[in-house]
Amino acid sequence: MAPAVATTIDVPRPLIAIDWGTSSLRGARLGDDGAVLEERAFPRGILTVPAGEFPAVFDELFGDWMSAPDALCLIAGMAGSKQGWIEAPYCACPAGAAGLSRQLAWVEAGRIAIVPGLSCEHDGVPDVMRGEETQVFGALNLLGIDSGTLVLPGTHSKWVRVESGGIRDFSTAMTGEFYALLRQHSILARTLPSEDGAFHGDAFDAGVAHAMRSPGLLQSAFSARTLALFDRMPQAQQPSYLSGLVIGEELRERALHADAHVIVVGAAVLTLRYERALAALGVRADTVGAQAGWRGLHDIARTIRA
């Protein structure tokens, strides 16, 4: 029997790109070239969707887009987790966009699919991501490169090493979650103002600097307590200081060289802080916005083999 000839799907099929995360749901209708024609966002993360009701929620919010003839939908994010629509088992690193498209979990054959997350392992301990892999491929595409070190800041920041278009390795830093824990539930909450308020660059920089010269977060975090206790920092600046402290700790743990180059992917509210902290260390940074995710799904769609 002759081997099947792999043919790529023609992307003139209308592509509906979905990012279905833990706490939010966003969708975009993309043009043939990957341009965003229309976007929608809903507070309908997977935690708000009872088991079995994913099809109904999807139809309600995106049914009109899917009524286009030959529409194709790709979904990235936690919708592929155990608690999601259907489970898309993790794809092991190294993996490229074509590898992900071969392991899509099809909700409806040829019509709606979930992109698998990635896993890797260090010293017997696994690491995982869901959704960020798609943003990584989109960011590389938007920058026109195929290798680099990327960081995707967030509740669980991902540091990703890409070589020749494939994700070789990555690791997770629980930076955003530690900020929230310290901000809301720790002894620091007693002296912090109730709202974060305006961003204070000097206080942020002081937090980054203290984290960089500290051996670790268990020690450096206490400085937010004592600076308040000794009235060394106005209360309104303390949330920015704490933000600098945890982002500085994330960078300290990476042990970046001063001549390193990092691509920061995400929404400006976070990437601006990472750019600022990286600049303080002398590390060059390029930034790609949250549209990287749509571009990544467009990329994966182009590698689907019929």
Residues that bind its own copies in the complex, under the rule CB under 8 A: 123-128, 156-157, 171-175, 177-178, 181-182, 184-187, 210, 213, 215-219, 221-223, 226-227, 229-230, 232, 246, 249-250, 252-255
Contact in structure between 55 and 44 (CB atoms under 8 Å): no
**Least distance in Å: CB of 222 to its own copies?**
4
CB of 214 vs its own copies, minimal distance in Å: 8
Please list, in sequence order, all residues whose beta carbon lies within 8 angstroms of the beta carbon of residue 97, skipping any fewer than 6 positions away: 137, 165, 296, 299, 300, 303
| Dist. CA 161–CA 136, nearest whole Å | 10
Distance CA 17, CA 30 (A): 7
For residues 202, 171, 175, 254, the Cα torsion angle rounded to the nearest 10 degrees is -30
Considering the complex, state which of residue 122 and residue 284 has its C-beta at the smaller distance from its own copies: 122
Q: Which is nearer to its own copies, 123 or 259 (CB)?
A: 123
Residue 119 near residue 127, CB atoms below 8 Å:
yes
Q: Nearest approach, Cβ of 258 to its own copies (angstroms)?
A: 17
Smallest separation (angstroms) from its own copies to the CB of 76 = 19
Question: Please, which residue, 89 or 282, has the CB nearer to its own copies?
Answer: 89
DSSP one-letter code for 282? T
Tell the smallest beta-carbon distance from residue 183 to its own copies (Å).
11
CA angle 71, 77, 83 (to 5 degrees): 110
Looking at the Cβ atoms of 172 and 303, the one nearer to its own copies is 172
Q: Which is nearer to its own copies, 103 or 172 (CB)?
A: 172
Give yes or no for a contact between 130 and 115, defined as CB atoms under 8 angstroms apart. no
- Smallest gap from residue 255 Cβ to its own copies (A): 6
> What is the rounded distance in angstroms from the CA atom of residue 142 to the CA atom of residue 184?
37
Nearer to its own copies, 72 or 251 (CB): 251
Phi, psi of 23 (to 5 degrees): -120, -5
